[in-house]
Amino acid sequence: MTTFTLPPSLEATEPPEARGLRRDEVRLLVAYPDGRIEHRWFTDLALLLGPGDALVVNRSATLPAALPARTADGAAAEVHLSNRLPAGLWALELRHRGDGGSTPWLDAPAMTLTLPGGATAELLVRQSARLWVAALAHLPAPPLAYLARFGKPIRYGYVRREWPISAYQTVFAEEPGSAEMPSAARPFSAELVTQLVKRGVMFAPFVLHAGVSSPEAHEPPMAEWYRLPHESAAVINQARRVIAVGTTAVRTLETLAGDDGTVHAGEGWTELVVTPAHRVRAVDGLITGWHEPEASHLAMLEAIAGREVLDASYRAALEEGYLWHEFGDSHLILR
């Protein structure tokens, strides 16, 4: 897997709009299968894609999924809701909270936490080293309304100040459910979508509610809920090239693809983890952001691009000063 050192100067600490740019004015590194690298702008997608190409885009909207919490002895904590589970349960991450932000609380015992508005979260059983299955109780409003009132977007240390939930939504966001923004689609604007449609590019929407992906502990993704409608499967299967917008799109398509690459409509929970050992069948390209060293997403990128192209891309991005994380620059990998 690609390894490198990320200088703090290349961490995007704020949205591009705060840097005087439109959301679609971030940089775009294009990696071709023959090893060529091009440095572009995200608005150049309307030149790089054309008739018969399909962009597979996630309609999941980001939740204000971070909640302040207190333990029984009054210690400050923070809860990051990850996925809504069957039977009214949630997967969540528990974190220590202090003046400098929050950090994973990996050795916490099962406990009941007090949440805002008189609500509680009972930690029932560990789902992984970092996530708990928990029961929320005494919410003064339905979950989405409760989060809208008391929650905030999940924010890590490299983002130095709070931003409204609108900063964490993509132009495609319609169905609330993601703990963290499906950020590969953030640079799309309504104007760019219009240009792409005029170019003959098709859009295939789906939903995958993305869970937490804390950069402090690079675990493989947990099970996530998805839905791909019949109309989108038809668009994908007739496309000249299928370009996944984000790792959520790859995970969904590869879950639903047959051995011949045909994608079937469906919904459910996927536990698929795409690595170089997985033969990618349904995707001809990927639009993604820039991922941290040792991030599990890099294994998926290597499965699509190959090790040499991926290494060349990351070397070029570091040399040219591309910005990392959800508010950073973009990467288009073509197979």
Q: Where are the domains of the chain?
A: 8-62+164-334, 66-150
Do 226 and 264 contact (CB within 8 A), yes or no? no
Which residues are within 8 A (CB) of 246 and not within 5 positions of it... i.e. 6 or more apart? 58, 182, 183, 184, 185, 286, 287, 288
For residue 294, the model assigns a pLDDT of 73
For residue 214, the model assigns a pLDDT of 62
How do strand 330-334 and strand 285-288 relate by DSSP bridges? antiparallel
Do 93 and 126 contact (CB within 8 A), yes or no? no
> Whole-angstrom Cα distance, residue 307 to residue 278?
14
CB atoms within 10 A of CB 72: 9
| CATH H-level, domain 8-62+164-334: superfamily | QueA-like (3.40.1780.10)
The two structure tokens encoding residue 169: 């939504």
In this structure, which amino acid lies at residue 120?
Answer: T
> Whole-angstrom Cα distance, residue 197 to residue 284?
19
182: closest CA among 30, 49, 58?
58
41: closest CA among 24, 54, 56, 53?
24
246: closest CA among 28, 58, 37?
58
DSSP state of 11: B
> Whole-angstrom Cα distance, residue 93 to residue 181?
16
> Whole-angstrom Cα distance, residue 83 to residue 298?
22
The domain made up of 66-150 is a member of CATH 3.30.56 = no
How do strand 66-70 and strand 76-84 relate by DSSP bridges? antiparallel
DSSP state of 41: E
Tens of pLDDT, residues 265-302 = 999 999 999 999 999 999 999 999 999 887 788 999 99
> Whole-angstrom Cα distance, residue 293 to residue 146?
35
For residue 272, the model assigns a pLDDT of 96
Question: Residue 48 is inside which H or E element, if any?
Answer: helix 45-48
In this structure, which amino acid lies at residue 124?
Answer: L
- Beta pairing partners, 330: 28
Tens of pLDDT, residues 76-133 = 999 999 999 999 899 999 999 877 778 899 999 999 999 999 999 999 999 988 899 9
Q: Residues in the chain with pLDDT < 70?
A: 1-2, 214-218
For residue 296, the model assigns a pLDDT of 82
Q: In the block, which residue shows the tokens 């950073």?
A: 328
In this structure, which amino acid lies at residue 300?
Answer: M
- What's the CA angle centered on 313, arms 258 and 236, to 5 degrees? 25
